[in-house]
Structure 1
Amino acid sequence: MQKKNLPDISPEMLPELADFFKLLGEPVRLKLLSSICREGGGSVNELSERLSLGQSVVSKHMNMLHEGGLVDKKQDGSRCLYSMPDDTLCRLCLIAAEKIRAKADRLRRLV
């Protein structure tokens, strides 16, 4: 593998980096993030209806994503609107999905 000119990850940063990836390690949260990346943000009710998930489930996971700094949360009257702060996380998920597709393609060719 060719070395890339990437910033160094300090040992002090590793626990925080692990926490970041733990937030992404839950299928419901990935489903929510994917929906927000594709279709835009929304309220808990809107996301719940869009994905056929219970409101309490959506609320719990969106709060976790917000507390982890992965999504923005804005109060709009009595409801909270969630959105992506930028497209960085969307691009990261696309890169990961491409890696998984490429691995599946390699395995199919072996069979």
Structure 2
Amino acid sequence: MVLAKTTLFDTELQEAASFFKALGHPARLQILRYLSETKMCITGDISEELPLSRTTVNQHLAELKKAGLIQGHVSGKNTNYCLDPEKIKTLKMVSDAFLSTLEPDDFKCGG
């Protein structure tokens, strides 16, 4: 059985990579921003807010759900989408922790 290469890295880096992968497309960032700005769950078609097809938006929503950043609850024919506040807090902590390890003042490149 082949091991995933990600298992060779510590859990903090794996968690950060999972979040950063989910944030790796501007449409996903726009979805998160939209859900944050509305301050409530959105019922219906988020694709009306983006210049993308419904199918494409649904694929981006699925990636955000997979990372746990949003929740989607089916209600009749519609799905209610919300940010997951606890995961957003975790995202902030993980991002801050990772970025704090990168000290740009200490960078020295040839020259």
Normalising by the smaller structure, the TM-score range is 0.5 to 0.7
Mapped contact 1:44–1:58 kept (Cα < 8 A): no
Cross-structure match for 2:42: 42
Change (3 A) 1:61 1:44: farther
| Higher RCO structure (Cα 8 Å, ≥6 apart) | 2
Cross-structure match for 1:29: 28
Change (3 A) 1:14 1:82: same
Q: How many residues align?
A: 84
- Consecutive unaligned residues of structure 1, counting only runs of 5 or more, are 1-9, 97-111
- Consecutive unaligned residues of structure 2, counting only runs of 5 or more, are 1-8, 97-111
Identity of aligned residues (%): 28
Correspondence 1:62 to 2:82:
no
Post-superposition CA distance 1:32-83 (Å, at most 9, x none) = 11111002442451x1112343111111100110111010111101221110
TM-score norm. by structure 2 comes to 0.62
1:1-111 matches, cutoff 5 A:
11-39=10-38, 40-43=40-43, 45=45, 47-86=46-85, 89=88, 92=92
C-alpha separation in 1, matches of 2:87 and 2:65: 15
Mapped contact 1:44–1:55 kept (Cα < 8 A): no
- Secondary structure at 2:74's aligned position in 1? strand
Mapped contact 1:24–1:30 kept (Cα < 8 A): yes
* RMSD, matched Cα: 2.8
C-alpha separation in 2, matches of 1:88 and 1:65: 11
TM-score norm. by structure 1 comes to 0.62
Change (3 A) 1:88 1:38: farther
Mapped contact 1:44–1:80 kept (Cα < 8 A): yes
